[in-house]
Amino acid sequence: MHKKLILIISCLVFGIFTSSGQEYAVEKIDSLLLENAHAVIREYHTQVEIRSRNRVQKKITYVVTVLNERGSHFADLGVGYDSFRKVRNLKGTLYDKNGEKIRDMHRREFLDTQRYSDYALYSENRIIRATHNERTYPFTIQYEYTVNYSITAFLDFPWIPVDDMHLAAEQASFTFDTPDDFEFRHKAVHTDILPRVKPHGRNRKHHTWELTNIKAIPREDFMPSVFDLTPHIFFSPNAFTYGKYQGNMQSWKEIGQWINLLNDGKQDLNQQSIQKVQELTAGMSDTLDIIRAIYQYAQSHTRYVAILLGVGGYQPEPASSVAQMGYGECKALSNYTVALLNAAGIKAHYTLIQHGQQIVQIDPDFPSNYFNHVIVCVPLENDTIWLETTNQLLPMGFIGAGNMDRYALVVTDEGGVLTRTPPVVAEKNNVNQFLTAALNTNGIARISLRKEFNGISISNRILPSRSTNNNQIEFFRESAGLNQLFIEHIDYQLKGKLNPSITKEADFVLQNYSRTAGDRIIFRPLMLEASLTAPAQTQQRYNDFRLPSTVLYSDSVLWQLPGNYKPIQLPDNTNLETPFGIYRLHYQTHNDDNTLTLKRELKINGGLFRADAYHDFREFLREIQRADRNQVILREVN
């Protein structure tokens, strides 16, 4: 009798302890969340508690169900730490598809390694990685850990629970536990949710945001950034502490003042460097010449090496160190260049910027630390010169599409000033090609071309313009995509002082360029280095799409046709004008000298477009692709 009772009670007790597992059963996931998902976040709770200016604690619970092998990486965890962050109580648990616990993760499965990306040589940052080895899908994994910070600068934000494609979320929450006198701002993007605010304990309060049922985003061509697509919350503290530095993010000006604090004393050039500056600029009166001389000196004596030390990577190495070592990363190199320019009597400013594919849109009304890169700004009376210091090949003033047309924070002596870098203007970014060719009846084509790259289009040709001739030949051979190519001459030249351009001249011969078909000759009059391919057709586009910066292409082609061969009929001219750009291709023959000319113009507009326009965009590209590949048929006339 007693035994039976014990059995029943123990079953009940057992039942209580195991029932919590079933909530992670895969069948409980709403089918809407399974669409396009390789993994589904079941719970993702973040609690941040500000204990004092120098003590912040963050607790995370992350539970994800991995549906198949392609979602496997969502169950890997990487927790970074450094001298300002410490990780504690890291635990992991695995559950099967019914939500039953399989096992806890072993200590050995959490690897503690030095963290650095491909570009960084050395870093004080470390990372704990957990790589599970589960291969029976679906499964669920639960992680819990705590991070203790000795700063309040919140460099881990914004809060973005779904930060990748093919990931859905059932519920995610963020709780901020702050003393009443801790001021901060917040901004919700792609969601209307408001925080629940309530007092907590003595002189403290809780702000809680909750998001539920976030659908997964499929990965498609021309993807905008995930920040354009999923709900997230930005935070920005007013007063904060970072190591021994105190700052305030309430205004751009104050953010700049904090940077000044970090950079204080770092522009310490020694006597030798200052003398060098004077030697370089002796006798120069034109400000632009002075800037160029110093910029080129800095470029040729330094190289980009990423070393993430000091204040979590926010402080540059001193200028004297860059002068001595000859390397540094963007902060150090920019700081060094500013120091050199200042020594030459030119006022230059350290400038923060978000470089690259415009991951996060900077909101001028929401001052915060959005930046991942540093460049230099030199304001002149009639102009502003911008300098990118990490690339030794760039001509002065050219900062590349990754730095253009966006907000940058220029750090002046008074503080930060939010400014825009030069826009990418199609008319200034163009590629013009003039090609003359002669075709003979044996299929041999002799070509002479001159191609001019202006504006951001020079980016891909800077390297050959600075290479030896042998390398230029290699480069052309690989990029031209032409068969049976015999190169007679090739040259890439960088020209121009402030708005550089690159000119390419090439003379080459192609064998078997035209084909015969009975008594006719068929050939393709357009020789394009990069052929445009239209993206694959999908049933329906899910996401909006983003096209890269605008470049204008124009080609003038003149063919000397062989002997008595003339085109029977020319392909139709094409004229396309769409919101995505324009394309024109016109043919003309000239009887007196038996030549054929083509004029081609292409412009693709950069920008963000709606998903329902994608079909038309595809059509636009396909028509271009077809027209570009047109062939011409010649027949002998007597």
Partner 1 sequence: MKSSAIFFFACILLAVFTSRSETPFDFGRVSDEEIDLEYYRAKYPGEPAVIIADIADSKFTFNNSSRRFQYIFNREIRLIILDELGLGYGDFPIYYYQGPNGSEEIQRLRGHIYNREGNRVRRTRINQRAGYTNDAGNNIKEFIIPFPEVRPGSIIELRYQIASDFLFNMRSWRFQWEIPVEHSEYVVNLPSFFNYMARFKGFFELDVNEQQPTIETFRYTQQIQNYGQKIDGQTYNLTTPSTRFRWVTKDLPGMKEEPFTDNIYNYLGHIYFEMVSEEFPDMEPKHYTTTWQDVSKHMMDRDEFGKYLQDAAMASRHFVPPGTFNSEIEAIRWALNEISSNITWDEDAARYADKTPSEVVNRGFGNSAEINLMLVALLRNLNLQAYPVVTSTVDNGELFSESPTISQWDYVVVQVRIPGKEPILLDATVHHPIPGYLPQRAINGRGRLIDPQLNEWVNLESNINQELTKKYNLRLDEMGNLNGELNYQYEGFGAYNLMQELAKNNDEDILKSFARKTGAAISNFNIEKSDTLNPKITVNADIFIPDYAQSLGNELIIPALLFETLEDNPFTAPDRLYPITFPHTGTNRIIFEIELPENMKVSHLPDSKKSAWGRFSYEYIFEKENNKLILQATNQNTTRIVNASRYNSFRSFMERMINDNADNILLEVR
Nearest approach, Cβ of 103 to partner 1 (angstroms)?
A: 9
How many residues sit close enough to partner 1 to count as binding (CB under 8 A)? 56
- 3-class state of residue 421 by DSSP: coil
Q: Which is nearer to partner 1, 70 or 495 (CB)?
A: 70
Q: Which is nearer to partner 1, 132 or 206 (CB)?
A: 132
- Please list the residues that pair with 501 across neighbouring strands: 454, 495
Of 518, 540, 593, 638, the one binding partner 1 (CB under 8 A) is 518
Q: Which is nearer to partner 1, 155 or 534 (CB)?
A: 534
Of 91, 347, 515, 590, the one binding partner 1 (CB under 8 A) is 515
Cα–Cα distance, 582 to 586 (Å, whole number): 13
| Candidate segments 152-160, 238-246, 473-481, 502-510, binder of partner 1 by CB under 8 A | 473-481
483 binds partner 1 (CB under 8 A): yes
- 3-class state of residue 11 by DSSP: helix
392 binds partner 1 (CB under 8 A): yes
Q: Are strands 303-304 and 327-328 parallel, antiparallel or unpaired?
A: parallel
Q: Which is nearer to partner 1, 520 or 586 (CB)?
A: 520
Nearest approach, Cβ of 582 to partner 1 (angstroms)?
A: 20
The residue with tokens 């079941």 is 42
User: DSSP characters for 256-320?
Assistant: HHHHHHHHTT-----HHHHHHHHHHHTT---HHHHHHHHHHHHHHH-EE-EEE-SGGGTSPPPHH
Of 53, 55, 129, 303, the one binding partner 1 (CB under 8 A) is 303
Cα–Cα distance, 73 to 64 (Å, whole number): 11
Residues 6+ apart with CB under 8 A from 541: 220, 611, 612, 614, 615
Q: Which is nearer to partner 1, 57 or 392 (CB)?
A: 392
- Please list the residues that pair with 76 across neighbouring strands: none
| Candidate segments 2-10, 282-290, 350-358, 510-518, binder of partner 1 by CB under 8 A | 510-518
Tokens of 202: 């003595």
State the DSSP H helix or E strand holding residue 420, giving kind and residue range, or none if neither: strand 415-420
Residues 524-543 that bind partner 1 (CB under 8 A): 533-537
128 binds partner 1 (CB under 8 A): no
| Candidate segments 127-135, 228-236, 420-428, 592-600, binder of partner 1 by CB under 8 A | 127-135
- 3-class state of residue 115 by DSSP: coil
Of 30, 35, 69, 427, the one binding partner 1 (CB under 8 A) is 69
135 binds partner 1 (CB under 8 A): yes
Is the distance from CB of 177 to CB of 52 less than 8 angstroms? no
State the DSSP H helix or E strand holding residue 208, giving kind and residue range, or none if neither: strand 204-214
481 binds partner 1 (CB under 8 A): yes
Nearest approach, Cβ of 473 to partner 1 (angstroms)?
A: 9
Per-residue binding string, partner 1, 283-302, x by CB under 8 A, is: -----------------xx-
626 binds partner 1 (CB under 8 A): yes
225 binds partner 1 (CB under 8 A): no
Nearest approach, Cβ of 623 to partner 1 (angstroms)?
A: 8
Residues 308-337 that bind partner 1 (CB under 8 A): 324-327
State the DSSP H helix or E strand holding residue 178, giving kind and residue range, or none if neither: strand 167-179
Tell me: cis bond preceding 567? Omega within 30 of 0 counts: no
Cα–Cα distance, 318 to 336 (Å, whole number): 7
432 binds partner 1 (CB under 8 A): no
Q: Of the candidates 85, 91, 93, which has an alpha carbon nearest to the alpha carbon of residue 48?
A: 85
Nearest approach, Cβ of 113 to partner 1 (angstroms)?
A: 8
Nearest approach, Cβ of 23 to partner 1 (angstroms)?
A: 24
Half-sphere exposure of 531 (CA within 13 A, CB side): 15
Of 88, 631, 636, 637, the one binding partner 1 (CB under 8 A) is 631
136 binds partner 1 (CB under 8 A): yes
Q: Of the candidates 389, 317, 395, 397, which has an alpha carbon nearest to the alpha carbon of residue 355?
A: 389
Binding residues for partner 1, rule: CB under 8 A, are 69-70, 113, 121-122, 133-136, 300-301, 303, 305, 324-327, 392-393, 463, 466-471, 474, 477-478, 481, 483-484, 512, 515, 517-518, 520, 522, 533-537, 568-571, 618, 622, 625-626, 629-633
